[in-house]
A and B are shown apart, each in its own frame.
Chain A
Amino acid sequence: MGTFILRRVGVMILTALCLTFIVFFLTNLYPNLEKLAKTQGNFRMSDEEVATFLNNRGYLQPTVTKYGQWLGVLPGYVIEGTDGKVRARCAAPGQPIEEAPSFCGVLQGNWGFSTTIKQDVGGIILEKLGLTGILMFWVMLLMVPSALILGVLAGMREGSRLDRSLSTFSISTTATPEYVSGVLFIAIFASSAVGLKWFKGTATSAMDNVTFENFFLPVLTIAAYGMGYIARMTRASMAEVMTSQYIRTARLKGVSFPNIVMKHALRNALIAPFTVIMLQFPWLLNGVVIVETLFNYKGFGWTLVLAAGNNDIELLLGVSVVSVFVVLVTQLISDIGYVYLNPRISVS
C-alpha cells in the first residue's frame, strides 16, 4: 500500500508539473503577452512600446526560465529597464531591490500578483475557494443522498415501472447541461413572468449571507447534472447485487423485502457509487464555473473565467494548480477508497 501511494503521488506531481507548464506556455505566447501589455499599459501602444514594456517587466525571458522563476527553483529576475528603473520579480512594491529575496516562487509560498484584481494570488484563491467550498458543501448535501435514494429505488426491482421512470428521469438530468437547466430554473422559479418568484435569480447576495432563497437555485443546478450519473451507477450496482446468491437465500428464508434492501443489499451496492462520487469532482468543477457565471456568484469558477478572459497569467496558474490538484487528489482518494471498501481487490 505504501509504495502504491508513493508511486501515485510521484505521478501526480509529474502531472501537475506538466499541466502547469502547458498553462504557462500557452499564456506566455507572444500574442497573449501583447494583449496583457495593452490592457496593463494603454491600448494605443505601438509594437516597439509593447516590446519594451514586456522586456522591462521580465516577460520576454525564455519560457523555461520564467517557469523556473514562477516555481521558485531559479532566482527571480532583476532587470534594469530602458526607462532607468530597476525592477525585480521578488521585490514587493516599495521594497528596495537589495532587500528582496532572490528566490520567490510557488515553492517559497509566493503565488505571484494578479494583474486584474491587483492582489496577491494566494489570498484571492483562498478567499474564492472558501466561497466555492460553501457552494460545493450544499451541492454534495443535496446531490449525494438524493442520487443514492434514486438509484437504490430504481435498482431494487430491475425492469419495474418505478425503475423505468426513475431511470428516464436520471438520463434527463445528466442530459441537461447546467446552462440550460439554470436558465430554465431561473425562468420558472425566479421571474415574475411565470409568477412563482420563489427564489432569487442571482446568488451575489449569498456571498455574504447564504439563505435558502438566494442559494437554492445554483445548488440545484449543479446537483441535478451530477445526480443522474451517480444515480445510474448506483442503480446498476444495486441491480447486480439484487441478483446475487445471498439475496436469494435471504428471500427464501423469508426476510421481508425492505429488510433485504436495507440490511443485506445496500452496503454492498454502495461500493461502486463511492468511487463515482469522488470522480464527479472534476465534473462538478466545470459545473461550478458555468453556474457561478450564470448566477454571478464570485467564487473560484468565476475567478477562472475572469483570469482566463484577461490573460492574468499568475492568477490563472494559481487557479489551474488548485483545480488540477483537486482532480488528482480525488482520483487518488477514489482509488484508495475502492481498495479499502472492496475486499476482493488488493494492490500488493
Chain B
Amino acid sequence: MNKDALSWGAIFGQMIIQFAPVLILLVITFALSLAFKRRLGLYGKLFDSTVGMIGLAMVLFWVFTAFFAGVFDMVATHNPLDQSALMKKALPGTPYSKLIGTPDPNAGAYYLLGGDNLGRDVFSRVIAGSIKVILIAPFATIFAFMVGITLGLPAGYYGGRFDTVLSFLSNLVLAFPVILLFYLLVTPEIVQTGIPVYMAAVLFIFPLVFLVILWNSRYHTQPKKRNIFVGLTLVIGLWVYLGSAWDADPLGLISFPPNVLVVFVSVVFVNSPTVFRIVRGLVLDIKTRDYVAAAQTRGEGPWYIMLWEILPNARGPLLVDFCLRIGYTTILLGTLGFFGLGLESESADWGKMIIDGRRLLSANILHIAIPPALALLTLVLGLNFLADGLREESLRD
C-alpha cells in the first residue's frame, strides 16, 4: 500500500460523502417542514426562530447519523472495535493498512480522522458513540420525567406530609455531588450486589403506574374503553418491565445488558428529583387557576384534574426542560465515560474517548480528543438552542 495521505480538503470531502444520507434526509426534513410549517403547530413555529432551526438541525444531524449507522450500518467507514497495529495514533487521512491479517475489503480506504492509541478509526468510533448517546439519553430523560411527574403532581396538588417527605428525599439526592453518587452506584462491585436491579425495579414501575392512572382517570366513566386501554398498557408494560428491570422476559426478547442498566438507572435517578421539583412548582402555581376550581366543582376526581387539567397546561415549561435535560443527560453520560464508569473498556463512548485523547494532548496529538469533544458539544449545543427556540415560541403563544 503506497497510497498518499489525504489532504484536509479531501478529508472533508470524504466525510461529506460518508454523511451524505444524513445530510439528504436533513434537507428533505427541513424542506418539508418549512413548506408545511403553518399546519404543524408548535413544531412548525420552531421554524420562525433562527436559533431554534439551527438547534433542530444540529440535533437531527446526530439523530439521523445514529439512525443510519445503527440500523443500516452506513455512515461509519470501519468497525469501531477493529484495531490495526500500523494505524496507532495515525494522522487524519492516513491510508488504511493492517500489520496482521488482511484488511476487511468492505472497510474504507482511509482513516478519515486518524487512528487512536490502539489503532482504531476515530471517525467510526465517534459515529458509534452517537448511537449509544441517542439511544440512552432521550429514554433516560423520558423515564426521569415519568418518575418526576407521577410523584410531583400529587406532591404539589395535595401538599401535606406526602409532599414534605418527598421534597426531603429529593433534596437529599440533590445535595449529593453527582460524581460521588456515580462513583458509589456505577461500579462492578455494586452491580454484584444487585442494587441497580432493585433501583430499576422501583424506577421502571413509574411509567406503568403513570399510564394506568392516565387511562383510568380519563375513561373511568366508559368501563369498556378503559378496560381495553388499561389492559393493553398492563400487558405490554409488564412484559417490557419484566424484561428490562428483572431480565426475566418470558419470551426472551427484551433484556438490558447489566452495565447499560446501571448507567441508565443512575442517570434516571439523578435526573428525577429535579423534574419532581419543577413539576411540583408548576402544580402549586396552576392549581390556583379558575379552570381547576371549575373541574373540582364539576366533581372530577383528583387524578383527572392533575393529569388532564394541570399537566397539559404545564407542557410549555416541561417541554423546554425536557430538551435541556436530554442535553444534561448527554453531559452526564459523557461524565461517566470520562471517569471510566459503567462500560466495557473497549466500547466507543464519547466521554471515554475524550479522556483517552486527553492523555495524548501533551504529545501534540490532537485528532483523538477533538472529534468526540466536538461531537458532544454540537449535540448538547443543538439541544440547548432547540430549547431556547421552543421557549421563545411557546412564550409568544
Q: Could you list which residues of chain A lie within 8 angstroms of chain B, going by C-beta atoms? A: 11, 15, 18-19, 22-23, 26-27, 29-32, 34-35, 167-168, 171-172, 174-177, 179-180, 183-184, 186-187, 190-194, 201-202, 282, 285-286, 289-290, 293-294, 301, 304-305, 308-309, 311, 316, 319-320, 323-324, 327-328
Contacts and interface: CB of A to CB of B under 8 A. Distances in A.
B193 A31 contact: yes
Contact of A305 (B185, B195, B339, B376): B339
Interface in B166-222: 168, 171-172, 174-180, 183-185, 187, 189-190, 192-193, 195
B94 interface: no
B116 to A, nearest CB: 14
Contact of B172 (A15, A183, A305): A15
B175 to A, nearest CB: 5
A286 to B, nearest CB: 6
Given A26-B184, A183-B373, A320-B180, 7 more contacts: A29-B193, A32-B187, A172-B381, A190-B362, A201-B362, A311-B189, A320-B177
B334 A286 contact: no
Contacts of A201: 361-362
Contact of A191 (B168, B174, B364, B388): B364
Contacts of A26: 184-185, 190, 195
A294 B176 CA distance: 21
15 contacts: A11-B168, A15-B168, A26-B184, A29-B193, A29-B195, A30-B193, A171-B384, A171-B388, A179-B355, A193-B365, A282-B174, A304-B183, A309-B183, A316-B180, A328-B175
Contacts of B75: none
Contact of B380 (A32, A177, A286, A301): A177
B279 interface: no
A198 to B, nearest CB: 15
Contacts of B183: 304-305, 308-309
Interface string B38-55: 000000000000010000
A193 B380 contact: no
Given A26-B184, A29-B193, A171-B388, A176 B358 contact: no
Contacts of B184: 22-23, 26-27, 308
B331 A177 contact: yes
B359 to A, nearest CB: 10
B25 interface: no
A190 B369 CA distance: 14
A186 B335 CA distance: 18
B370 interface: yes
Interface of B: 51, 168, 171-172, 174-180, 183-185, 187, 189-190, 192-193, 195, 327, 331, 334-335, 338-339, 351, 354-355, 357-358, 361-362, 364-366, 369-370, 373, 376-377, 380-381, 383-385, 388
A40 B91 CA distance: 43
A18 B190 CA distance: 19
Contacts of B376: 177, 180
Contacts of A177: 331, 334-335, 376, 380
A304 B179 contact: yes
A15 B172 CA distance: 6
Nearest to B337: A179
B175 A327 contact: yes
A35 B380 contact: no
B169 to A, nearest CB: 9
A187 to B, nearest CB: 5
B175 A175 contact: no
B384 A175 contact: yes
A31 B123 CA distance: 38
Contacts of B174: 282
Nearest to B169: A18
A187 B369 contact: yes
A81 to B, nearest CB: 25
A22 B173 CA distance: 10
Nearest to B338: A179
Nearest to A18: B172
Given A31-B190, A171-B388, A191 B381 contact: no
A307 B365 CA distance: 31
Contacts of A22: 184
B347 to A, nearest CB: 18
A35 B48 CA distance: 57
Contacts of A18: 172
B377 A180 contact: yes
A23 B331 CA distance: 24
B361 A168 contact: no
A319 B358 contact: no
A290 B377 CA distance: 16
A174 B383 CA distance: 12
Nearest to B355: A179
A177 B351 CA distance: 10
Contacts of B168: 11, 15
